[in-house]
Structure 1
Amino acid sequence: MAGNYVRRTVITRLAVSDEQRDLLEETISEWKRVCQIATDKAWNVCNAKSDVQPLAYDDVREQTSLGSQHAVLATHQAAQAITGCIERRGEGESVSKPTFTAPTVTYDTRTMTLFDDETVSLSTTESRVRCELVLPEIDEGYQQQYLDSEEWQATESTLTIGNDDTVLLHLGLRRPKTDAERDTAEDGTVLGVDLGVENIAVTSTARFFSGRNLNHRLRQFEKTRGGLQRTGTRSAHRTLREASGRQLRHIRGRMHEVANGLVAEAIRYDCDLIVFEDLTEIRENTNAAWGHKWAFSELYEKVDYKAEQAGITVKQVGASYTSKRCCECGFTAGENRPTRTEFCCQKCGSEANADYNAAKNIGLRYVRRGQQSSRRTGDSQLALKSGTMTPSDGFIPHPEGFEAEFTDKPHRQEANPPG
């Protein structure tokens, strides 16, 4: 199962001769042609890999010079592209049949062999070519830690040729998860994430991903929508469909940016887990122009996928009272949050941005759950901008010289804060 592996992608340049580059370019050209043939056959017919492959395989083998295993991989690529179109169509976007223009080709363990002498053998339309990996001269290069380890095994990879004729191999690697990693990485550092309207996401390390520009743009769109609906002409309806598609693409693009930012924040603070509030507790409509449950679900799925590639686990915890509970003393009351953005504890006087307070509560809820469970050792900690925190030990500052700015302050913790 995919979830049983930690995955990495190592990018390296290949040293190739002119003849080898020509063969690789020809292979890429045939790959794109096979993907297109398979897509043409399966479009509006089927989209599962198990269906597209038998439907298109004979045709692509007869019409192209791509090898049998590469032909199979290309039909799978076509199936994936069609599936993506179906998903976007289901979200209201206008989609058209995929076309393949990128100068890339996919390899797997049958079409690519990685050798211990830092060379790689690649299938082409004619014969295999064996190329040298161009690695940094220093042994400490990031690629080396994976290539020199027996734990990491090559898996599906991508080769691309740039405009300057540079040949790059995006080498996919994987290793089995350890028992601790399979047991939800309970002893790691946790990044708490709160989702909302004013801010799409806020982390326990005080990184804010604003939703204001998105809200402004889509409010303008709502005004346009009203005018077009009142017009009621065929042209107005066509314009409305096109505008709706643009807005959905804009939302997806913003969620993609936020997902990248969340994973980058987890990596920066050396986090093992990213913890969200339970998405099932989010209302379908959050009174924002974009704030529907599907948008948060899309964000979660993107983070989950990107985090897995970085070896980071993604979890959800119940979000009840996280917006009303003081993360410093544990006192919970509706009066603690007088406005959407403000939090002021009525017991200890702690003040904070309301979303930031909630993000810390979400992360702490996972940490507390680990400490209270008999299955876990309870050594996880919450990542803050200036240090880490646990309910029992309180605030621990980062070592001197850590790149984060010191904005959090240590606070007195209750001996047994309420769960």
Structure 2
Amino acid sequence: MKYRRTAVIKLDTPDGADPLLQETVEQFKHCANTASEWCWHGDDGYHVTSKAKAERALYDQLKDETDLTANLVQKGIRRAVEAVKSGVERLNRGENTSQPYFSADSAVYDKRSATFHRDRVSLSTIDGRIECDYILPDDSETPPTKYVSDEDFEFRMAHLQYYDNDWYLHASMRKVEADEEIPESESKHSTVLGVDLGVNNLAVASTGRFWSADEINHWRREYEKRRGSLQRCGSRYAHENIEAVGRKEYRRFEIHLHTLANELIEEAVENDCSHIVFEDLTYIRENIPEATWQHVWAFRRLYGYVEYKADEYGVEVVRVDPRNTSNNASTCEFTHDRATAATGDSLELHYSM
């Protein structure tokens, strides 16, 4: 049986490391956005979804244009191809979408571009490697310390992410245990996809993949400005336009959340997950006090979309109460570090047979 976790680890960067990491991330985004533009080609219906084809066409160019290692260039291209592939699948379903664009300050690392230790990580940058110590809770039973210190959990890959003026490692970890007692007919249902909701990241999956809240936060602020300007005008025309702005905001967010829901389900299917697990939204205000009413509305909408869409794929969607971390549900065990919920950290989950 495989247990998957995402350990969200704050990094203690050495002096002089921040500019190197920032430029590394910028160049990684350049690779991803260049590849996205090349793969998308425009709205003529022709889109490249082959990682090998994209790498053959773009690797030499991007290697010359950046100071990244070969592995990071490849990861940037592959990240774009995966996003384009998801976009093509949405187009095939008759949904509206556009060329993927990467704006979040993040980069993807695997074991070739990073060396994961139990107390630190060595990361490739545009100018050699740097070592960053982990900043972990003192309590050995508190995530992420619980998993980072456990030798049975193996680092698989990680997303390096910058937010709130700090660097974080969203490390995907896996633990494989003996499953002799699990009936063969049930062994395929040994994994769940945990989903955490937040303000900086709208959703973080237990595989390590995350969906930035940059776009929805940007448009939330823009629509609030428009409404504020119209309210100051005070005319009947302005009042009617406030309602029109509200409808436009609603439609934009609906499309964005539909896309996110589809990608969450795709992530579950690709990782052979039988369940997608959300925290119970009844207590979302307590767990994420920074969340606006738009965030809470988005969380509830997202859960509803995932719930009805997942049925088509035979994936069950469940909610668990993050306040009762000492109680195990009948199908999953849940651990939630409340102190980190507001930054978009992931719920810690595993499937229990």
Name 1:22's counterpart in structure 2. 19
Q: How does 1:324-339 map to 2 (within 5 A)?
A: none
Name 2:348's counterpart in structure 1. none
Name 1:166's counterpart in structure 2. 166
| Aligned residue type for 1:178 | A
Give the drift of 1:41.
2.1
Contact 1:263–1:303 (Cα < 8 Å) also in 2: no
The answer as to 2:42 corresponding to 1:41 is no
Name 1:364's counterpart in structure 2. none
Name 1:89's counterpart in structure 2. 91
**Runs of 4+ that moved beyond 3 A:** 180-183, 185-188, 243-259, 294-307
Question: Partners in 1 of 2:259 and 2:47 — Cα distance?
Answer: 26
| Aligned residue type for 1:6 | Y
Q: How does 1:211-290 map to 2 (within 5 A)?
A: 263-264=277-278
Give the drift of 1:46.
1.2
Give the drift of 1:186.
10
The Cα offsets for residues 332-374 of structure 1, whole Å up to 9 and x where unpaired, read as: xxxxxxxxxxxxxxxxxxxxxxxxxxxxxxxxxxxxxxxxxxx
| Aligned residue type for 1:140 | E
| Aligned residue type for 2:59 | Y
Question: Partners in 1 of 2:317 and 2:99 — Cα distance?
Answer: 25
- Alignment gaps of 5+ in structure 1: 189-242, 267-293, 308-381, 385-419
Contact 2:84–2:100 (Cα < 8 Å) also in 1: yes
Q: Secondary structure at the match of 1:13?
A: strand
Name 1:140's counterpart in structure 2. 141
Question: Partners in 2 of 1:186 and 1:295 — Cα distance?
Answer: 20
| Aligned residue type for 1:264 | F
Give the drift of 1:145.
2.5
TM-score, normalized by length of structure 2? 0.54
Instruction: Return closer, same or farther for 1:23/1:91 CA change in 2, 3 Å cut-off.
Output: same
The answer as to 2:189 corresponding to 1:154 is no
Give the drift of 1:256.
8.6
Question: Partners in 2 of 1:186 and 1:64 — Cα distance?
Answer: 42
TM-score, normalized by length of structure 1? 0.47
Question: Partners in 1 of 2:264 and 2:81 — Cα distance?
Answer: 26
The Cα offsets for residues 138-189 of structure 1, whole Å up to 9 and x where unpaired, read as: 2222223222222211112101111x3111111111122532458426999x
The Cα offsets for residues 190-240 of structure 1, whole Å up to 9 and x where unpaired, read as: xxxxxxxxxxxxxxxxxxxxxxxxxxxxxxxxxxxxxxxxxxxxxxxxxxx
Give the drift of 1:135.
0.5
| Aligned residue type for 1:88 | R
Instruction: Return closer, same or farther for 1:182/1:304 CA change in 2, 3 Å cut-off.
Output: farther
Give the drift of 1:137.
1.8
| Aligned residue type for 2:135 | V
The answer as to 2:104 corresponding to 1:105 is no
| Aligned residue type for 1:141 | T
Contact 2:47–2:88 (Cα < 8 Å) also in 1: no
Contact 2:276–2:318 (Cα < 8 Å) also in 1: no
Q: How does 1:320-359 map to 2 (within 5 A)?
A: none
Name 1:77's counterpart in structure 2. 79
Question: Partners in 2 of 1:113 and 1:49 — Cα distance?
Answer: 25
Give the drift of 1:300.
5.7
Q: Which has the higher contact order (CA 8 A, sep 6+)?
A: 2
Question: Partners in 1 of 2:122 and 2:278 — Cα distance?
Answer: 33
Question: Partners in 1 of 2:33 and 2:88 — Cα distance?
Answer: 17
The Cα offsets for residues 224-279 of structure 1, whole Å up to 9 and x where unpaired, read as: xxxxxxxxxxxxxxxxxxx99976656566789999x961369xxxxxxxxxxxxx
The Cα offsets for residues 386-416 of structure 1, whole Å up to 9 and x where unpaired, read as: xxxxxxxxxxxxxxxxxxxxxxxxxxxxxxx
Give the drift of 1:99.
1.4
Contact 1:93–1:244 (Cα < 8 Å) also in 2: no
Give the drift of 1:57.
0.9
